[in-house]
A and B are shown apart, each in its own frame.
Chain A
Amino acid sequence: MSSDAVNPAAVAQLPASGVPILDARSVTMQFGGLRAVNDVSLQVHTGEIVGLIGPNGAGKTTFFNCLTGLYKPTSGSVQFVGDQLPPKPRLAVRAGMARTFQNIRLFHNMTAIENVMVGMYVRTQTNALDAVFRLPRHRREERESLERARELLAFVGLTGSGDQLSRNLPYGDQRRLEIARALATEPKLLLLDEPTAGMNPQETRQAEELIFKIRDLGLAVLVIEHDMRFIFNLCDRVVCLVRGEVLVEGPPAVVQNDPRVIEAYIGMPADSSSDDSGQTPSVGGDDNA
Chain B
Amino acid sequence: MNAIIPSEHKIRFRFVGRGTGITAAVLMIASIMLPWAYTGAALDDVSYWASPSPLQIYFAILAGLLLVLLAVPLVGKERLGKYAKLVAWNSAAKVAAVTSTVMAAVALISIALELGGLINVMIGAWLALGGAVLSIIATRYLPDSPEPRLEDVASPRWLQILAVAVIMAAGLFAAATALGYDDAGSFLTFAAFLAGVILVLKSFGFFDWLSIAGAANNRVLVLSAFAVAFAFPFTQNGSDANMSIASQVLIFAATALGLNIVVGLVGLLDLGYIAFLGAGAFTAAILSESAYSTVNWHPPFIVTVLISGTVAATLGLIIGAPTLRVSGDYLAIVTLAFGEIFRITMINLDGNDGPNLTHGSNGIPAIPDLNFLGFDFGVSHVILGVDIGRFANYYWLMLILLAIIIVVFTNLNHSRIGRGWVAIREDELAAEAMGVNTFLLKLLAFAGGAFLAGLAGAVKAHHDVSVTPDQYIFLESAFLLSAVVLGGMGTVLGVLIGATILKLLPEKLRFFSDYRLLAFGLLMVIMMRFRPEGIIADRRRALEFHDKNEELAEEVEEELITHHAHLNPDPKGFEL
**What is A's interface to B at a CB cutoff of 8 Å?**
68, 70, 89-90, 93-94, 98-99, 101, 105-110, 114, 117-122, 124, 126-128, 130-134, 138, 141-142, 145, 165, 167-168, 171, 181-182, 185, 198-202, 205
Contacts and interface: CB of A to CB of B under 8 A. Distances in A.
Contact of B408 (A121, A132, A168): A132
Contacts of B422: 107, 109-110, 114
A124 B416 contact: yes
Nearest to B440: A90
Nearest to A108: B426
Contacts of A105: 427, 429-430, 433
B562 interface: yes
Contacts of A131: 411-412, 415-418
Given A93-B434, A109-B540, A200-B565, A114 B419 contact: yes
A43 B423 CA distance: 32
A77 to B, nearest CB: 21
Nearest to A201: B571
B419 A121 contact: yes
B333 interface: no
Interface in B517-548: 540-541, 543-544
Given A132-B407, A202-B571, 6 more contacts: A107-B423, A108-B427, A114-B419, A118-B419, A126-B416, A198-B558
A90 B569 contact: no
Contacts of A201: 565, 569-571, 574
B415 A138 contact: yes
Given A132-B408, A134-B411, A142-B415, A167 B435 contact: no
B416 A145 contact: yes
A165 B540 contact: yes
- Say what secondary structure dominates the interface of chain A: helix
Contacts of B541: 109
Contact of B423 (A68, A101, A110, A124): A110
Given A128-B448, A198-B562, A110 B408 contact: no
Nearest to B538: A109
Contacts of B544: 108-109
Contacts of B429: 105
A145 B415 CA distance: 11
A152 B444 CA distance: 29
14 contacts: A68-B433, A90-B432, A90-B434, A108-B426, A108-B544, A109-B541, A121-B420, A121-B435, A122-B435, A130-B415, A132-B411, A142-B415, A167-B551, A200-B574
B435 A185 contact: yes
B415 A107 contact: no
Interface string B421-443: 01100110111111111100000
Contacts of A89: 432-433, 435
A67 to B, nearest CB: 12
Given A89-B432, A110-B422, A118-B423, A128 B444 contact: yes
Interface of B: 407-408, 411-412, 415-420, 422-423, 426-427, 429-438, 444, 448, 540-541, 543-544, 551, 558, 561-562, 565, 569-571, 574, 576
A68 to B, nearest CB: 7
A124 B420 CA distance: 12
A91 to B, nearest CB: 9
Contacts, number: 124
A115 to B, nearest CB: 8
B437 to A, nearest CB: 6
A121 B418 CA distance: 11
Contact of A118 (B434, B543, B551, B574): B434
Contacts of A200: 561, 565, 571, 574, 576
Contacts of A141: 416
Contacts of B431: 107, 118
A168 B422 CA distance: 17
Of B418, B431, B433, B444, which is in contact with the most chain A CB atoms at under 10 Å from its CB?
B433
A90 B543 contact: no
Nearest to B408: A132
Contacts of B570: 201
Nearest to A118: B423
* Top 7 closest pairs, chain A to chain B, by CB: A122-B435, A93-B435, A131-B415, A107-B426, A105-B430, A201-B571, A109-B540
B13 to A, nearest CB: 41
Contacts of B415: 126, 130-131, 138, 142
B155 to A, nearest CB: 22
A106 B417 CA distance: 18
A124 B415 CA distance: 11
B539 to A, nearest CB: 8
Contacts of B438: 90
Contact of B417 (A101, A126, A133, A202): A126
Contacts of B561: 198, 200
A202 B561 CA distance: 13
Nearest to A95: B435
Contacts of B558: 171, 198
A174 to B, nearest CB: 10
Given A110-B422, A131-B416, A131-B417, A119 B435 contact: yes
A110 B540 contact: yes
Contact of A109 (B426, B444, B551): B426
A89 to B, nearest CB: 5
Contacts of B574: 200-202
A109 B433 contact: no
A142 B432 CA distance: 21
B540 A118 contact: no
B173 to A, nearest CB: 34
A281 B576 CA distance: 28
Contacts of A205: 571
A269 to B, nearest CB: 13
A88 to B, nearest CB: 8
A118 B408 CA distance: 20
B427 A107 contact: yes
Contact of B543 (A119, A134, A167): A167
B166 to A, nearest CB: 30
A121 B434 contact: yes
A119 B434 contact: yes
Nearest to A203: B565
A128 B441 CA distance: 10
A202 B415 CA distance: 37
Given A110-B422, A114-B419, A167-B543, A90 B435 contact: yes
A264 B342 CA distance: 62
A99 B551 CA distance: 25
Contacts of B433: 68, 70, 89-90, 93, 99, 101, 105
Nearest to B439: A90
Contacts of A127: 417
Given A119-B434, A132-B412, A198-B558, A110 B543 contact: no
Interface-centre pick from B419, B420, B429 (highest chain A CB count, 10 A): B419
A110 B543 CA distance: 11
B38 to A, nearest CB: 56
Contacts of B571: 200-202, 205
A242 to B, nearest CB: 23
Most chain A CB inside 10 Å of its own CB: which residue of B411, B430, B431, B448: B430
